[in-house]
Chains A and B, each alone.
Chain A
Amino acid sequence: MDKYPDHLPIITLSISQALVDKYSEASGDHNPIHQDTKAAYEGPFGQPVAHGMLVLSTASQIMTTTFDKQWAEKGNLKVRWKSPALIPNNIHTSARLKSASQEQVTYEIECKDDNDTLLFSGTATLRLDP
C-alpha cells in the first residue's frame, strides 16, 4: 500500500462560458444547453451548464498526473453525476486511495465546486502488470 499515495494532487479547473465554448468546438458536442442560448435557460437546469465530459476530464487528468501513460493503457473510470456544473464555476477534483493489490489500484474520485456541491463521484482503477 505504501507504493501508492493516499491522496493525489487536486486538479482545479475554472469553468467559464468561453472555456465551455472551446470545449464544444473541440469535442464536437454542440448541445445548446451548454451555450448561452434560450434553450439552455428553458432547459432542465434553467441556465447553461458545462458538458459532463468536460467536468469528467479532470478525473482523467488527476490519474495521468501520477500514473502517466499507464492510465491511457489500463485505466477504468466509473462515475455518477450528482449535480450539473453551472457556469461560471471553479471545480476541484480529488482522489483518495481506496484499495491496492498486485492486480490493481483503485482511487475514490470526487469533484466539487466552490460551494462544496458534489458534481460527480466514483472510482478510478488502474490494472497493473502481473
Chain B
Amino acid sequence: MNLADLNVGTTLNIKLNFSVEKISEYLVATGDGSDMWIRESIVPPPLVGAGILAELMKQVKLPANLMHTGQEQTAYSTVPANSDLLASVTLTQYSQRRGAIIATFEANLVDVTQVLLFRAKFSGLVPLELS
C-alpha cells in the first residue's frame, strides 16, 4: 500500500525481534564503541526506532522524495535483545501545507506482556512539486 492510501488513525502492527548479531552489526555501522549493549543484551534506542521505520517501509510504500524532518523517541524501559516485540504504528497526521504533504507516524512498542517499552514519533515532508 502507498502512504496516500492510509487514513489518519490507521494503525499497522509490526512484529520485531532484535538479535544480538543484529545489534553487533548496528554498533559497527554506527561507530558505537560501548560494550554495554552486548554485555547487557539491550537494543540501542536508535536501533529500535530504525527497526520500526524499516518495517513500516516494508508495509507502506513511502514516496521517494519523502524527507524525514523530525524524530522523537522515549524509552520507558530497556528493550531486550532476542525478545518478541510488537509495535503499533499509527498515522497521526497527513495534511497539506505550504506546497508539501506533512505526515506523522507514532509508534508504541510493547513486549509480550503488553508492557510499554518505547515510543517513537516520525515526521516527514513530501514536496508537492516533486511528488
Contacts and interface: CB of A to CB of B under 8 A. Distances in A.
Contacts of B44: 57, 60, 64, 72
B92 to A, nearest CB: 16
A39 B66 CA distance: 13
Q: Is the interface of B mostly helix, strand, loop or mixed?
A: mixed
Contacts of A43: 64-65
A37 B87 CA distance: 31
Interface in A53-103: 53-54, 56-61, 64-65, 68-69, 71-81, 84
B32 A57 contact: yes
* Contact-residue size bin, chain B (C-beta under 8 Å from the other chain): 35 or more
B69 A69 contact: no
B75 A73 contact: yes
A26 B58 CA distance: 15
B65 A27 contact: no
Contacts of B130: 44
B78 A23 contact: no
A73 B30 contact: no
Contact of B36 (A28, A64, A78): A64
A61 B26 contact: no
Contact of B26 (A13, A26, A33, A64): A26
19 contacts: A26-B29, A26-B30, A28-B50, A31-B57, A53-B53, A56-B49, A57-B32, A59-B46, A69-B42, A69-B78, A72-B42, A72-B45, A73-B77, A75-B75, A76-B74, A77-B71, A78-B71, A79-B71, A84-B67
Interface of B: 22, 25-26, 28-32, 34, 36, 40, 42, 44-47, 49-51, 53-55, 57-58, 64-65, 67-79, 127, 130
Given A39-B64, A53-B50, 5 more contacts: A14-B31, A22-B29, A31-B57, A57-B44, A78-B72
